[in-house]
Structure 1
Amino acid sequence: MSIDIALYDGHPAGGRRTGARMLRLSSPGAALDDALARHTDPARHRLGRIDPYGDTLFDERDAGAVFEEATALLARCTTEEQRAAVRELRDLLADCAATPGSRLVFLGD
């Protein structure tokens, strides 16, 4: 299992005549899956609600709010692979938060 992350300039389901454009795609691999599963609680963390088997969507406001969770998650990571994956996640969250109208989509298996 592995979650890919796509950053779009709008809602990926379309909504506009031209549809949303993908700005960036990341495949942080199993290390992100492991970090999320081991170090987040779905009852307390929005990051813990990312579905590893389906798609989860954050808009730019969600991404800004979740950035602090990702920073705390980084401190709880136990391997360099997890830390690298969470740093990539933080970069994508920051890009999404800084891009009005954007969406970050977590693409589960």
Structure 2
Amino acid sequence: MGIELALHDGRPDGRRPNEGRRPAPAVLHLSTDHGPALAEALAEHARPTDHRLGRIDPYGDTHLNEQEAAAAFEEATALLARCRTDRQRAAVRDLRNLLANCAATPGSWLTFLGD
């Protein structure tokens, strides 16, 4: 099981490009290198009280907008301090980078792609 990350330039809504009036949002960045380690770190170290990271669905997709990503950055910083392995730390550093990029890009969304 793993969790991959996709940074979109707009809200991902699950529609195919031709189903709606507007085109599907473009993927600005896709992170597939740390899927299992990120899932492990979130499962072991994300606390239920973590408002955003604690609600990531490891089996489905979870979306954060730019404001939620900015707030989740603080949670990811705390999560990084709790990681015990180099793999988990690398995965959470990647997560923090994408959260920061999302927070700095107006209209963007970060999607957690669960298995």
Task: Name the TM-score class by shorter chain.
Answer: over 0.9
1:2 aligns with 2:2: yes
1:82 aligns with 2:88: yes
1:17 corresponding residue in structure 2: 22
The alpha carbon displacement at 1:52 in A equals 0.3
Distance 2:98 2:6 in 1: 9
1:31 aligns with 2:22: no
Aligned-CA RMSD value = 1.3
Q: Secondary structure at the match of 2:10?
A: coil
**Aligned CA distance change for structure 1 residues 98 and 16 (closer, same or farther; 3 Å):** farther
The alpha carbon displacement at 1:5 in A equals 0.6
Q: Secondary structure at the match of 1:106?
A: strand
The alpha carbon displacement at 1:12 in A equals 1.5
Distance 2:81 2:91 in 1: 12
Distance 2:22 2:54 in 1: 34
Give the fraction of aligned pairs with identical amino acids, expressed as a percent.
65
Output the TM-score relative to the length of structure 2.
0.89
Which amino acid counterpart does residue 12 of structure 2 have in structure 1?
P
1:108 aligns with 2:108: no
Which amino acid counterpart does residue 92 of structure 1 have in structure 2?
L
Q: Secondary structure at the match of 1:78?
A: coil
The alpha carbon displacement at 1:48 in A equals 1.6
The alpha carbon displacement at 1:16 in A equals 5.9
Output the TM-score relative to the length of structure 1.
0.94
Distance 1:3 1:96 in 2: 17
Q: Secondary structure at the match of 1:24?
A: strand
